[in-house]
A = this chain, B = another copy of it.
Amino acid sequence: MATSRQSFSQILLGRPLETAAAPHQAIGKIPALAVFASDALSSVAYATEEILVILALAGAAYFHLSIPIALGISLLLIVLTTSYRQTIFAYPGGGGAYIVARDNLGELPAQTAGAALLTDYILTVAVSISSGVAQITSAFPTLYPYRVEIAVGLIVFMTIVNLRGVKESSTAFAVPTYFFLGMALLLLIVGAFRWVTGTLEPITGVEMVANAVSPLTLFLVLRAFSSGCTALTGVEAISNGITAFKEPRSRNAANTMLAMSGILMTLFIGITLLARAVHAQPSEVETVISQIGRAVYGNGTFYLLTLISTTLILIMAANTSFADFPRLAALHAGDGFLPRQLTFRGSRLVFSWGVVMLAGIASLLVILFQASVSALIPLYAIGVFLSFTLSQSGMVVRWHKVSRMQPGEEVEVHGSIMRYDPQWRWKQIVNGIGAIMTFVVMIVFAVTKFRDGAWIVIVLTPSLVWFFFRIHHHYKAVAADLSLAGENRMIGARPLRTIVLIDNLHAASIRAINFAMSLGQPWTAVHVSIDSDRTADLERKWAMRMGETPLVVLASPYRSLTEPLITYVQEIRQEAPDAYIHVILGGLTTESFWQQGLHRNSTMVFRMAFRHLEGVAITNVPYQLHHLPHAMVADRH
Contacts and interface: CB of A to CB of B under 8 A. Distances in A.
Interface in A590-624: 590, 595, 597-600, 603, 607-612, 614, 616-624
Interface residues of A, number: 95
B507 A484 contact: yes
Contacts of A485: 637
Contacts of A339: 597-598
Nearest to A591: B612
A144 interface: no
Interface string A486-510: 1011011111100000000111101
Interface centre among A2, A16, A17, A618, by most chain B C-beta atoms within 10 angstroms, is: A2
A559 B475 contact: no
A621 B344 CA distance: 24
A426 interface: no
B494 A558 contact: no
Contacts of A301: none
A541 B491 CA distance: 14
Contact of A18 (B340, B488, B557): B557
A633 B480 contact: yes
A518 interface: yes
A341 B600 contact: yes
A196 interface: no
Interface centre among A346, A475, A620, by most chain B C-beta atoms within 10 angstroms, is: A620
Contacts of A492: 514, 517
Given A489-B507, A515-B580, A612-B624, 11 more contacts: A19-B559, A474-B590, A480-B634, A482-B625, A484-B545, A491-B514, A491-B545, A494-B518, A519-B521, A614-B624, A618-B620
Going nearest first, the 5 A-B pairs with the smallest beta carbon separation are A482-B506, A16-B558, A480-B633, A619-B619, A493-B517
23 contacts: A2-B609, A17-B558, A19-B558, A339-B597, A340-B600, A346-B559, A347-B558, A347-B559, A477-B628, A477-B633, A478-B625, A480-B630, A481-B507, A481-B626, A481-B628, A492-B514, A514-B580, A580-B621, A582-B619, A607-B620, A611-B622, A611-B624, A618-B619
